[in-house]
Amino acid sequence: MGEAISRTLRIGQGSGPAERRWYGHHLLKKPFFGRFMKPWRWPADVPQEGWERVRVASRSASRLEAIVARTSLAAHGVVVCAHPMGLACKGFWLRHGHAQKLLDAGFHVVAFDFNGFGESPSTNFDFPGDVLSVGQWARGAFPGLPVHALTASFGAINTLSAIAEADFPFDKVVAEGCPPTLPDFWKAYPLAHAVLTLGRRINPESELHLRPVHHLASMRDVDVLLIHSRADRWTPVHFGDALQQAASRPERIQRLVLEHADHTHGMRDEPQRYWSAVFEFFNQTTPTRS
């Protein structure tokens, strides 16, 4: 009977619940992420050679599946990639070429699946804890190097929602397509928005935990590059205005406004402007954390 239950819940198998105690959280995630919580496959036509698989113990109580590649050049730093929503999960950075571009520019790359996505077992809604844990792992694995974050949409929300934490591990954060709050994004999805609204009434702290503007108001000494596009109907440019205005350190916020890029696709749609801004940002001299 126990084995049958485990198979039904897909315990410990990728995006299934890590343990039975997380099954309720897993069900609550369905209105938001259900269509993306599928078995993960390595992207077709992307070589696996040079990539190492690691597991990172997360504050969310999950063991996150991550992949790591080391640049063959003299390393400028490490970039942790926090994925947007989608079936690709950590493969987003492989499929669209971000990872290879970073490696070619002299950065080690770490890409991971948030808990409940891809190959990482599902636990709770502490997605900011996932980002923190992977960033801290990268800092320990590559001592002495700057550790940055390249994030998009869902990954950006959760990274900026950790930016006030005392142990925030990143020196610089690129946040593409980030909304100021969860309702700002989910209002386009009636069922998910209704569940979110109900949750906010029952437990207001749960939504506050995942509200970027709330955490930017107490942000750590970190540089942030916000990327939005005039062609993005999901996270328009004025979302970036709200994020910048909320920041307690507005001088640490930089902006890139693209013209034609679709949501999360700045690299694909405007590669020259995207990479010029990202590499200039990452290569700006700032103190390396100990």
Binned at pLDDT 50, 70 and 90, residue 186 comes out as low
Classify burial at 178, counting beta carbons within 10 Å of its beta carbon; exposed 0-12, middle 13-18, buried 19 or more.
buried
Other CB atoms within 10 Å distance of the CB of residue 265:
21
pLDDT tens readout for residues 234-254: 999 999 999 999 999 999 999
Q: What distance in Å separates the CA atoms of residue 172 and residue 286, rounded to the nearest whole number?
A: 9
Question: Residue 131's pLDDT is what?
Answer: 98
> How confident is the model at residue 1, as a pLDDT?
30
State pLDDT tens for residues 4-43. 323 333 333 456 766 677 656 666 566 566 666 778 999 9
pLDDT value at residue 193: 55
Lowest mean pLDDT segment, chosen from 26-30, 181-185, 249-253, 263-267: 26-30
**Rounded Cα–Cα distance for residues 284 and 16 (Å):** 41
Q: Is the pLDDT higher at 65 or at 26?
A: 65
Q: Give the pLDDT confidence score for residue 183 in this predicted structure.
A: 77
pLDDT in tens, 126-147: 999 999 999 999 999 999 999 9
pLDDT digits (tens, 9 = 90+) for 43-61: 999 999 999 999 999 999 9
C-alpha 262/C-alpha 244 separation (Å) is: 21
Rounded to 10 degrees, the C-alpha dihedral 102/279/163/117 comes to -30
Q: How far is the C-alpha of 290 from the C-alpha of 280, rounded, in Å?
A: 23
Provide the whole-model pTM: 0.88
3-7, 89-93, 177-181, 198-202 — which is least confidently predicted?
A: 3-7
Alpha carbon 228 to chain centroid distance? 16
pLDDT for 217 beyond 60:
yes
Say if residue 99's pLDDT is above 70.
yes
* Domain 2-283 in CATH 2.60.220.10: no
Answer with the residue of higher pLDDT: 160 or 16: 160
Q: Is the pLDDT of residue 69 over 90?
A: yes
